[in-house]
């Protein structure tokens, strides 16, 4: 990988670290908001705030993707850290729920500006090099999820140590991302020609979204993202305080910052190892096969999680064995998202001048999934605690399986290099 591609991935990590840190600290902040002068908050409000973030990402990602094709991917990726820095400063200054909701919109705009431009850059920089594309896609997912994961790991102890002041510290980390993009990234070969080329219009973009391949990929990816987003939006809020409404659930007895941090580290290590393993299998395995294994791994994770949650009073070997089985399921689940990203990058080959717009679908699918997961997670947690969240996860994974067989049948048509254009000839 050249220097600019490495810098883009490094900036992705720091940017997503800031995003994960903000989201996790916000959950802790909301759980103790009355202590800081605010009003009590329930799980549904937490879910609504998370959904607000992803709603902004959903609406704005196509716009920023189109802008990155017209202005240059490098230029537009600079917008993300600016939006994020403003958002976290405002978060640290207020306890008012409407203003905190507005900061979720700004954070969503940060991701909406960054992800399509970064993915458009990666797609352009790896054009014609399938091996490099596979590595870059896996490493992008790794940097994204590692950044979010490390943010979740650091958040409990950091917030415990300095409270809302941690939001101001996070603004400095957003500044680091800005400097990485500004000084470490150069326009890739072909960027100037791509900017000058004729670009797809809005009607053409809608035609892409309605294509059979995208419509088959979308529900699977959305459902997988929803099953993951459900936990990102609710886990710290649920684990950080005891809930007397569910006394039989071991995972709802409340955990301190040290316990949550250690668990988050273990989860991040297992998921990261899974990303590396499955990312290196792109050359030897079909991507739909990796996605299928990921969904089945998620189902195993759910079953094992239910075992851990109801292991109170049982011999220690029972929760230990269930925990190890859950780790194995998580390892396999990790392969689903980079495999889906690889499929989307293949679609972008049909539109070399509009990679940002097309790769912006990544954020669209992610946002729809995360919005759904956040809303479902809030309702499920209020209804059934951790059990409710696990059962909702299993249902979402079942939805992800429905279109996968059709997607598998048509997988070879998605490769824009080896097959005819499925939307007609690509624009010149």
| Minimum mean pLDDT range among 283-287, 354-358, 415-419 | 415-419
Q: What would the pLDDT profile of 201-239 be if each residue is shown by its tens digit?
A: 566 667 666 666 677 778 888 888 898 888 877 887 788
Q: What would the pLDDT profile of 383-425 be if each residue is shown by its tens digit?
A: 998 999 999 999 999 998 888 877 777 766 655 444 334 344 3
Domain 3-190+204-414 classified CATH 1.20.1250.20?
Answer: yes
Tokens of 358: 């097309």
Q: What would the pLDDT profile of 86-124 be if each residue is shown by its tens digit?
A: 999 999 998 888 899 899 999 999 999 998 889 888 878
The pLDDT of residue 428 is above 60: no
Q: How many CB atoms lie within 10 A of CB 423?
A: 18
- In the chain, domain spans: 3-190+204-414
Q: What mean pLDDT do residues 157-183 have? A: 93
Q: What would the pLDDT profile of 140-149 be if each residue is shown by its tens digit?
A: 888 887 888 7
């Amino acid at each position: 990988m050249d220097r600019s591609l490495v810098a883009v991935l490094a900036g992705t990590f720091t940017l997503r670290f800031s995003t994960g840190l903000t989201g996790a600290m916000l959950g802790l902040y909301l759980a103790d908001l009355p202590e800081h002068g605010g009003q009590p908050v329930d799980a549904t409000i937490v879910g609504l705030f998370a959904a607000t973030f992803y709603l902004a990402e959903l609406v704005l990602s196509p716009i920023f993707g189109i802008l990155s094709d017209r202005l240059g991917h490098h230029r537009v990726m600079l917008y993300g850290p600016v939006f994020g820095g403003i958002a976290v400063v405002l978060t640290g200054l207020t306890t008012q729920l409407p203003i905190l909701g507005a900061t979720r919109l700004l954070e969503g705009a940060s991701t909406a500006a960054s992800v399509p431009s970064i993915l458009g850059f990666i797609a352009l920089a790896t054009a014609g090099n399938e091996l490099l594309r596979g590595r870059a896609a896996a490493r992008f997912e790794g940097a994204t999820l590692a950044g979010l994961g490390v943010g979740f790991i650091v958040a409990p102890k950091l917030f415990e140590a300095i409270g809302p002041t941690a939001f101001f510290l996070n603004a400095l980390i957003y500044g680091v991302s800005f400097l990485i993009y500004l000084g470490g990234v150069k326009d890739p070969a072909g960027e100037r020609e791509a900017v000058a080329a004729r670009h797809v219009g809005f009607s053409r973009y809608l035609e892409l979204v309605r294509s059979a391949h995208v419509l088959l990929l979308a529900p699977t990816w959305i459902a997988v993202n929803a099953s993951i987003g459900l936990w990102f939006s609710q886990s710290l809020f649920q684990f950080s305080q005891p809930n007397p409404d569910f006394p039989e659930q071991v995972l709802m007895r409340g955990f301190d910052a040290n316990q949550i941090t250690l668990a988050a580290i273990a989860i991040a290590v297992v998921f990261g190892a899974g990303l590396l393993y499955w990312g290196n299998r792109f050359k030897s395995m079909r991507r739909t096969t990796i996605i299928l294994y990921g969904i089945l791994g998620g189902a195993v994770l759910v079953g094992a999680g239910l075992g851990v949650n109801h292991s109170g009073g049982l011999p220690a070997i029972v929760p230990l064995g269930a925990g190890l089985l859950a780790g194995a399921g998580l390892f396999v689940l990790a392969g689903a998202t980079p495999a889906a990203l690889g499929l989307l990058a293949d679609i972008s080959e049909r539109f070399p001048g509009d990679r940002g717009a097309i790769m912006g679908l990544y954020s669209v699918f992610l946002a729809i999934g995360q919005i759904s997961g956040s809303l479902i997670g809030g309702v499920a947690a209020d209804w059934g605690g951790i059990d409710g969240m696990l059962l909702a996860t299993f249902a979402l994974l079942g939805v992800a399986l429905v279109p996968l067989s059709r997607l598998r049948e048509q997988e070879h048509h998605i490769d824009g290099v080896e097959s005819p254009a499925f939307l007609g000839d690509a624009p010149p």
